Chains A and B, each alone.
Chain A
Amino acid sequence: MELQIDIGGRTRTVIVETKDGQYHVTSDGETWLADVAVIDGATYSVIFPDRGYASQEVGVAVVGPNGDLSVHLASGITTVGRPTGAGRFGGRGAQAAQSVGARQVVAPMPGKVVRVLVKPGDQVKARQGLVVVEAMKMENELRSPKDGRIVSVLITEGTSVEAGRPLVVVE
């Protein structure tokens, strides 16, 4: 299986295969051999035979409207873009042929748009501020989930928004 995954603001091409009951995961020229057991739902026990049998428990959860994943490790939590990609056995499918895909930035709770910081066509970097929404007497700057380009801005200053309302689309 070949996947495109956004990690740390950069899109990675990741190849996953299983052989002899173990996972081989390749990205950026490195391959990791992993023995994986499912603990429950989306919690996995991962042992790396090539790395001194290092043992890790990892948890995964789907967060946000785009199907992004929150990855929970012993050392912390990180958000990873929704893996998109081809069929199970490698090769490129329709999904992989398009770019990683447009990502929506939505209002986290009911509020009002007080400032729009970008316009369609702007190039943005991961964590760059896009929109400021006022909610519960506090101003909250919503940031870009990735490096990319603003595809559309769906609101204007003064728009009242409900939780989940898409505000900006980044590609």
Chain B
Amino acid sequence: MSTSERAPIDTLRVFETPEGVDLSLRLAGPVPRAAAYLLDLLIRIAVYLALTPLLALAGIGSGIMLLALFLLEWFYPVYFELRRGATPGKLALGLLVVHDDGTPVGPSASLIRNVLRAVDFLPALYGAGLVTMLIDRDFRRLGDLAAGTLVIHAPAAREVRSLPPQPPQPPDRPLDLDTQQAILDFAERAPRLSPARRAELAEVLTAADGLRGRDAVERVLGIASWIAGAR
């Protein structure tokens, strides 16, 4: 994980995989994590309430209730982190718990970060955890610091990527790599932009040639098609 001093102020953390490429993780801050915690709390309360009919069984029932309370308090997060990568509340908010090398959390780290909740909770309502998260640049609470874990946003569901079909048109002059990328980016985003905005953006490039409106958009999409290699 790169935490070099020159890294920009960002919640994106880049690390190199053993395959030699850079992957980036987007860290989750206190707000979505608090929301996930509340969701989990509701789920745990619901499970507990669903078990209350057991109390009718007197002795054995209350024994099972107490065991359930114990498991819900300490092992609910551990179980789901090992089984699914995060608790149901976190999954609902699109969060995952990972080691700080991006791999899914394992048994040892999961136990540490969840048992140390007892200290993060102090003095009340995760006060210590919140303060630590706000101080730490990776939003880690005390349990995360000791376990070496991060809470990240799961990769967003990928939108369909396709360049709009357009006959290729070579550009008038050589384009540098950044410009080529900007044009390709525009072409991929074009279907999601309003026609007026699409034209406005395309005219940035074609104004010098006197192309306006639809013509400008078609010209830029044609160049994109040419850059991508359509023949």
User: Do A and B belong to a common assembly?
Assistant: no
A residues contacting B by CB (< 8 A) are: none
